[in-house]
Homo-oligomer: A and B are copies of this chain.
């Protein structure tokens, strides 16, 4: 969990709340002219002039959303930001600020928090977003992370979930199932480590999938590509709970059905290999595995020429009227009802 192997660690009780926040945030700089007031006041202030503010928030609980036995704190900080940025890109908006609230039990020394903030900072720097506020407090158990991300767009560009129409193309960025495959590998290694801590895991042939799980990226490049190609998706969502769940969200919000072609779903060859090892159908990994943070969108057929053969985007189906329902069309041309079996943190409650 902690990469700092120094044995002199600083208990958080040794440092006051305000000093702790000062220490953790001192190396963050403000890059966006819209960030008028940052950390250190009762609230941050943002000036988007005439533009819309787009805001999304996420709550992550240790033991439910992340497992520190195989997630380094720096990666956790990075990924927590990415998951939120992805929600803003999925509105066809540009993320510009985040606030971070953190609750921690006293098992975390200050150095652990510094590593976590290093990950936050790396994500802020890469995506050019400013940390402008938050809260640091104690928890009775484990770590709790709450991130709110603020972005900007305008009325003409914003992509909601409900704007798709029948015959629109169903298009996805990147490839799917990688984060899920990476998680299978990490969970297996954790189990092996428990039995024999001396075994050195050989993870070299799984680097793509483990990377997708531990250090995912948000599709800033796709957001910028759409802008460059002058494409405004008629509806868009990010894939955090699996392709089937997100496709159904678009269908429901737009009151449509769809045809999703199994053979068109983009899946990396390493993911297929891992699925074979674990005896999982790769389509199942893509449909129900979460955390890929790809963008799923409805594009007008008239935009097809602009995107065809682009390496970032794959047409995987089209929308239909609602009576057709949401269908997966298999390689054998069978129609199967699409069902959301994505990860549900409520039903997983214990």
Contacts and interface: CB of A to CB of B under 8 A. Distances in A.
Interface of A: 12-13, 15-17, 20, 36-37, 40-50, 52-59, 61-65, 87-88, 90-91, 93, 97, 99, 101-106, 132-142, 144, 146, 148-151, 153, 155, 158, 160-161, 236-238, 253, 344-350
Given A52-B47, A140-B350, A58 B133 contact: no
Contact of A238 (B16, B42, B55, B133): B42
A253 B39 CA distance: 12
Report which residue of A42, A87, A344 has the largest number of chain B beta carbons within 10 angstroms of its beta carbon.
A42
Contact of A17 (B146, B238, B344): B344
A58 B101 CA distance: 7
27 contacts: A12-B346, A13-B347, A20-B346, A37-B158, A37-B160, A42-B87, A42-B161, A42-B236, A42-B237, A42-B238, A43-B151, A44-B54, A45-B91, A45-B93, A46-B54, A47-B155, A48-B53, A49-B50, A50-B50, A55-B99, A55-B148, A58-B101, A61-B137, A61-B140, A64-B140, A139-B144, A140-B350
Nearest to A158: B45
A64 B349 contact: no
Nearest to A62: B140
Nearest to A19: B346
Given A42-B88, A55-B148, A65-B137, 9 more contacts: A17-B345, A42-B161, A43-B88, A45-B93, A59-B101, A59-B103, A99-B148, A139-B144, A140-B142
A316 B255 CA distance: 60
Given A53-B150, A141-B140, A160 B41 contact: yes
Report which residue of A41, A132, A140, A151 has the largest number of chain B beta carbons within 10 angstroms of its beta carbon.
A41
The 10 closest A-B pairs by CB, nearest first: A138-B349, A43-B56, A146-B146, A59-B101, A17-B346, A63-B140, A137-B345, A42-B87, A46-B53, A42-B90
Contacts of A253: 40-41
Contacts of A46: 52-55
A304 B345 CA distance: 55
A253 B37 CA distance: 13
Contacts of A37: 54, 158, 160
Contacts of A148: 55, 57, 99, 148
A42 to B, nearest CB: 4
A309 B176 CA distance: 67
Contacts of A136: 346
Contacts of A54: 37, 43-46
A55 B139 CA distance: 23
B44 A146 contact: no
Contacts of A87: 42-43
